Amino acid sequence: MTPEFGDGTRVVHAFAGEAGDPFGAQPVFASAYHLGGQDYYGRAGNPTWRALESALGALEGGECVVFPSGMAAISTLLRTVLSTGDTLVIPSDGYFLTRKFVSEMDVTVREVPTAGPYPSLDGVKLVLLETPSNPGLDVCGIADLAERAHAAGALLAVDNTTATPLGQRPIELGADVVVASDTKAVAGHSDVLFGHVTLASPELAGRLRDARTLNGAIPGPFETWLALRGLGTLDLRLARQAENAAAIHALLKGRIEGLRWPGAPEDPAHPVAARQMRRFNGVLTFVLEDKAAVDEFLARSRLVSAATSFGGLHSTADRRAQFGDPVPEGLVRFSAGCEDTRDLVADVSQALGLD
């Protein structure tokens, strides 16, 4: 897809068919194929995978490999890149399951807050960033860290789940790898688990494909098609979600503690985020007094549901402490959905007793 086209055009036309083809790639369910063509066995390749990989790779500027979940994507990446005794840098305030996974690997792990400061990277094999971080929404400068990592002989990978492929393009900023859970905004309809890795190096992409075939972490064709279908409306959904997040931030500013949204000029993460993000999304956080206050908020709301994912059509709230994140008991990760802005603001206002 021509880079000059806008985001909406690029995601709608991410897969270009030919005369007589249906609009959009369709799920191919075969496990075995007549030999002699590109595909020969369902664990090694699938036309529906390639359609989504082509679309995501074009958006992110690299070669994409799809997986059945975000954790399958990131765990395959870590096992492929790292060997026994290697050193890995990860965010101390990032996704807690990533920290749990690497704690069980035979590698040296250095945990650094997303916002830094970052110590010397000498001897490091891989630096894994998560920016904006989940759930704290801190950011770090990708270009600067990419330069430092490469000078030290390390690879730089960026978990881009919160930003989305439209919100941030880490490979253009110098990163070697992008990893994401497409369960969230890319698929966007709360109906599929999915993930992907996009790589600047075709050689490393080939290694990940080989690892996917060997370990069997393969996505189903139907799930792949759902993610591809969701991608087509990402631009539209992201625009409404960001509009709603901005409105909720304006409602809560100065009235609720711990309010964070990198899209707000007054947010401490905004200066760096504004330099490297192309657009913002619908995820913000704030802190209520305790668990009971969160429960009351959810009970009073008519539009906000308790859920532990984000990036979907529906507005959701997740009290992250219940899942083991080292955050205050009342911290809420709020995912603004695609409801009418006026309705959502009114509902949140009354649910929090701000009327």
Q: Are strands 195-199 and 177-181 parallel, antiparallel or unpaired?
A: antiparallel
- Sequence letter at residue 346: A
- Among candidates 4, 13, 3, which has minimal Cα distance to 233? 13
Is residue 343 part of the annotated active site? The answer reads: no
Is residue 176 part of the annotated active site? The answer reads: no
Q: Which of 21, 40, 43, 253 is catalytic?
A: 43
Is residue 43 part of the annotated active site? The answer reads: yes
Q: Which of 86, 93, 95, 318 is catalytic?
A: 95
Q: Which of 184, 209, 237, 320 is catalytic?
A: 184
Q: Which of 159, 176, 235, 318 is catalytic?
A: 159
Interior/surface letters 179-203, b for 16+ CB within 10 angstroms, e for the rest = bbbbbbbbbbebebbbbbbbbbeee
Is residue 40 part of the annotated active site? The answer reads: no
Q: CA–CA separation, 257 vs 288, rounded Å?
A: 7
Specify whether the CB–CB gap between 171 and 62 falls below 8 A: yes
Around Cβ 87, how many Cβ atoms within 10 Å?
17
Report, as residue numbers or ranges, the catalytic residues. Answer: 43, 95, 159, 184
